[in-house]
Amino acid sequence: MEQQLENIDIKRFQQDLISWYEDHKRDLPWRQNQDPYRVWVSEVMLQQTKVDTVIPYYNRFMQQFPTPQKLAEADEEDVMKAWEGLGYYSRVRNLQSAVREVVADYGGEVPSSKKAFSSLKGVGPYTAGAVLSIAYEKPEPAVDGNVMRVFSRILLSREDIGKAKTRKKFESLLPAFLNDAKPSQFNQAVMELGALVCTPTSPGCLLCPVQYHCMARAEGVQEELPVKEKKKAPAKKEMAAVILCDQQGKTLFHQRGESGLLARLWEYPNVETKQKGEQKDTLSQFLKNTYGVQAKIGNKVQKVQHVFSHLIWNITVYEGMIEEAPEHSQDCKWLTLEEAQKYAFPVSHQKILKAQIERRDAEWN
């Protein structure tokens, strides 16, 4: 890659890219100004999530938590609720912890030094590069999968972008492009090029502002790049969940553990099952062992599938009635459906809650 870099006229490349960006950039809410807190929130939301999905979340989040102080003071449950549906929930828990550090140690000003900002919880090289360049005009590279795709093509690199050493290589090469450019514009221009033109499939080379610099296009191999080793197919898990109601019509909800997948989100009691035919017995046993509840498991009412990057949950949902009330414990609550809507659920369990509310409303009407 270092050799290919020598073939590029970096000055012309910067001019071609940035003048295209100025004409074509999308009007996105986080581009209204260079406020570092706003930029930081947007960059955390945009990791693994598409721009169109992020926009309404971002607008609501900034209304609810407009300053680092507001986010630092907020109840974690409210912050999780504002993030509900965006996934990768550790992102927002880390963001809130880091913002609390900013308020406690930096008077609420997002630090502009790389060392200080990178030491905050959850701030990796990408977030540090993006925030410091966009908000503070520091010549830091912001290398994510999109940026690696664009530069793999421009530099005709066949190195596997799934590997940490390839990312490191890009991080060491890209500062050459940032010198003497406005880092904020340059990094955002590359991100915009990856989103609008140099897309994963069928890159729009004929409309591309840097087509004359692009080595993959010159060789006609742009669609073969970047190289990324295929991930294993996601594992499938059969799950049984239960809508367990007491005599007052309250439903049992459970809070997931402190760490791991979907940590601290709320859900219906559920368990992995090996054999579909034995789901009811497995559920009854699980409820007894976990919550001390004697329950009668009734009909199947719903099937929900949720696909994570590495895992697929196939959840069969049953109704159930308790025969004996359990002891209250910290990680479970009996709630009305109105109360339940104030808590944050994973998408699969939001679907179960929504269907339960619809069935109840249909019965009432």
* Catalytic residue ranges: 43
User: Which CB, 203 or 320, lies closer to ligand SF4?
Assistant: 203
Whichever of 39 and 214 has its CB closer to ligand SF4, that residue is 214
Least distance from C-beta 216 to ligand SF4, angstroms?
Answer: 5
Q: Which helix (H) or strand (E) holds 116?
A: helix 114-118
End-to-end alpha-carbon separation of the chain, Å?
Answer: 67
Would you call 346 exposed, middle or buried from its count of C-beta atoms within 10 A (0-12, 13-18, 19+)? buried
DSSP bridge partners of 235: 311
Q: Which is nearer to ligand SF4, 203 or 269 (CB)?
A: 203
Rounded to whole angstroms, the Cα distance separating 145 from 168 reads: 12
Coil vs helix vs strand at 321: strand
| Cβ atoms of 89 and 259 closer than 8 Å | no
User: For ligand SF4, which is the closer residue by CB, 212 or 329?
Assistant: 212
Nearer to ligand SF4, 82 or 198 (CB): 198
CB of 59 to ligand SF4, least distance (A): 30
129 in Cβ contact with 187 (< 8 Å): yes
Closer of 82 and 210 to ligand SF4 (Cβ): 210
Residue 127 CA to residue 106 CA, distance in Å, equals 18
Shortest distance (Å) from residue 184 CB to ligand SF4 = 21
Q: ∠ CA(63), CA(82), CA(263), 5° rounding?
A: 150
Instruction: Tell which positions 92-121 bind ligand SF4, by CB under 6 A.
Output: none
Using the minimum distance from each CB to ligand SF4, give the nearer residue, 146 or 211: 211
The distance of closest approach from Cβ of residue 220 to ligand SF4 in the complex, given in angstroms and rounded to an integer, is 10
Tell me the closest approach of the beta carbon of residue 152 to ligand SF4, in angstroms: 9
Which string of DSSP letters, residue by residue, matches 227-280? --PPPPPPEEEEEEEEEEE-TTS-EEEEE--SSSTTTT-EE--EEE-S-GGGHH
Q: How far is CA 192 from the centre of its chain?
A: 19
Instruction: Please name every residue paired with 272 in a beta bridge, in sequence order, or none if there are none.
Output: 239
What is the rounded distance in angstroms from the CA atom of residue 300 to the CA atom of residue 317? 6
On whether the CB atoms of residues 121 and 97 are closer than 8 A, the answer is: yes
Among 91, 153, 169, 254, binds ligand SF4 (CB under 6 A): 153
Site size toward ligand SF4, by CB under 6 A: 15
Binding residue for ligand SF4, selected from 98, 131, 150, 304, defined by CB under 6 A: 150
Residue 35 β-bridge partners = none
Q: How far is the CB of 317 from ligand SF4 (least distance, A)?
A: 45
Q: How far is the CB of 218 from ligand SF4 (least distance, A)?
A: 9
Q: Tokens 């402190």 identify what position?
A: 258
Q: Which of 86, 95, 132, 154 binds ligand SF4 (CB under 6 A)?
A: 154
> 179-218: which residues touch ligand SF4 (CB under 6 A)?
197-198, 203-205, 208, 210-211, 214, 216-217
Per-residue binding letters, 218-257, with ligand SF4 (x by CB under 6 A): ----x-----------------------------------
Alpha carbons within 13 A on the beta-carbon side of 10: 13
Cα 117 to chain centroid, rounded: 20
Span interacting with ligand SF4, options 117-125, 138-146, 148-156, 254-262, rule CB under 6 A: 148-156
Half-sphere exposure of 256 (CA within 13 A, CB side): 19
Min dist. Cβ of residue 221 to ligand SF4 (A)? 9
Nearer residue to ligand SF4 within complex by CB, 58 or 170: 170
- CA 35, CA 37: separation in Å to the nearest integer? 6
Q: Which residues form the interface with ligand SF4 (CB under 6 A)?
A: 150, 153-154, 197-198, 203-205, 208, 210-211, 214, 216-217, 222
